[in-house]
Amino acid sequence: MDKFYITTAIDYVNGAPHIGHAYEKILTDIIARHFSQRTDNMFFLTGTDEHGIKIQKTAASKGIQPKELCDENAQKFKDAWKALDINYNKFIRTTDDYHENAVQKIFKKLVEQGDIYKHSYEGLYCTGCECFLNPKDLTEDGLCPDHLKKPEVVKEENYFFKLTKYKDAIIKHIKENPDFIVPSFRANEVLNQLEDIQDISVSRAKSNVQWGIDVLDDNEQSIYVWIDALSNYITALGYDTESVSEDFKKYWPADVQVIGKDILKFHSIYWPAFLLALDLPLPKHILAHGWITIDETKMSKSLGNVISPTSVLETFELKEPDAFRYYMATSAPCGRDGNYSDDDFKEKVNAHLANSMGNLLNRTLSMLVKYFDGVVQPKNLSLVDGAVELTKKALGTVKIVENHFNHFEVAEAAQEIIGIVDMTNKFVTDNAPWTLAKEDKMDECAQVLTTVLEVMCIISALIYPYCPNIAQSMAKQLSFDLSIKLDDLTADNIKEGKLISKEEITPVFLRVDSELADKSAKK
Ligand code: MSP
CA-closest candidate to residue 449, choices 366, 506, 393: 366
Residue 149: count other Cβ atoms within 10 Å of its Cβ: 12
Residue 304: count other Cβ atoms within 10 Å of its Cβ: 7
Minimum-distance ligand 1 atom for the alpha carbon of 9? 5
Residue 264: count other Cβ atoms within 10 Å of its Cβ: 20
Sign of CA dihedral 64, 67, 73, 76: negative
Q: Calculate the alpha carbon distances from 363 to 33, 86, 144, 478 in Å.
A: 28, 31, 56, 13
Determine phi and psi for 225, rounding to 5 degrees.
-50, -40
Chain centroid offset of residue 394 CA? 25
Minimum-distance ligand 1 atom for the alpha carbon of 24? 29
Q: Whose CA is nearest to atom 23 of ligand 1?
A: 20
- Tell me the whole-structure pTM to 2 decimals: 0.94
Distance between CA 246 and CA 258 in Å, rounded? 23
Contact 31 CB / ligand 1 (< 6 Å): no
Determine phi and psi for 42, rounding to 5 degrees.
-110, 140
**Looking at the annotation, which residues are catalytic?**
18, 21, 126, 129, 144, 147, 298, 301
Give the full edge-to-edge strand order of the sheet including 218-223.
203-205, 218-223, 213-215
Residue positions counted in the chain: 523
Task: State in Å: Cα 263 to ligand 1 middle.
Answer: 7
Q: Are strands 375-376 and 497-498 parallel, antiparallel or unpaired?
A: antiparallel
Contact 229 CB / ligand 1 (< 6 Å): yes
Q: Whose CA is nearest to atom 8 of ligand 1?
A: 11
Task: State in Å: Cα 69 to ligand 1 middle.
Answer: 18
Contact 23 CB / ligand 1 (< 6 Å): yes
Pair 17, 76: CB distance under 8 Å: yes
pLDDT in tens, the chain (523 residues): 799 999 999 999 999 999 999 999 999 999 999 999 999 999 999 999 999 999 999 999 999 999 999 999 999 999 999 999 999 999 999 999 999 999 999 999 999 999 999 988 888 999 888 888 888 889 999 999 888 889 999 888 899 999 999 999 999 999 999 999 999 999 999 999 999 899 999 999 998 889 999 999 899 999 987 999 999 999 999 999 998 899 999 999 999 999 999 999 999 999 999 999 999 999 999 999 999 999 888 887 777 889 999 999 998 999 999 999 999 999 999 999 999 999 999 999 999 999 999 999 999 999 999 999 999 999 999 999 999 999 999 999 999 999 999 999 999 999 999 999 999 999 999 999 999 999 999 999 999 999 999 999 999 999 999 999 999 999 999 999 999 999 999 999 999 999 999 999 999 999 998 654 555 555 4
Distance between CA 82 and CA 422 in Å, rounded? 32
Contact 262 CB / ligand 1 (< 6 Å): yes
Contact 416 CB / ligand 1 (< 6 Å): no
Q: Whose CA is nearest to atom 16 of ligand 1?
A: 260
Mutate to test the pocket of ligand 1, among 49, 58, 224 (most ligand atoms within 8 A of CB): 49
Contact 20 CB / ligand 1 (< 6 Å): yes
Distance between CA 93 and CA 260 in Å, rounded? 19
CA-closest candidate to residue 256, choices 68, 44, 440: 44
Determine phi and psi for 16, rounding to 5 degrees.
-90, 165
Residue 523's pLDDT is: 46
Distance between CA 297 and CA 300 in Å, rounded? 9
Q: Calculate the alpha carbon distances from 370 to 164, 377, 425, 457, 501 in Å.
A: 73, 13, 19, 21, 10
Pair 419, 390: CB distance under 8 Å: no
Distance between CA 127 and CA 52 in Å, rounded? 9
Task: State in Å: Cα 308 to ligand 1 middle.
Answer: 14
DSSP letters for 361-410: HHHHHHHHHHHHTTEEPPP-GGGSTTHHHHHHHHHHHHHHHHHHHHTT-H
Task: State in Å: Cα 8 to ligand 1 middle.
Answer: 9
Task: State in Å: Cα 503 to ligand 1 middle.
Answer: 46
Under DSSP, is residue 355 helix (H, G, I), strand (E, B) or coil?
helix
Task: State in Å: Cα 348 to ligand 1 middle.
Answer: 26
Pair 283, 253: CB distance under 8 Å: yes
Q: Calculate the alpha carbon distances from 448 to 197, 260, 365, 497 in Å.
A: 63, 45, 12, 16
CB contact set of 423 (below 8 Å; sequence gap of 6+): 390, 393
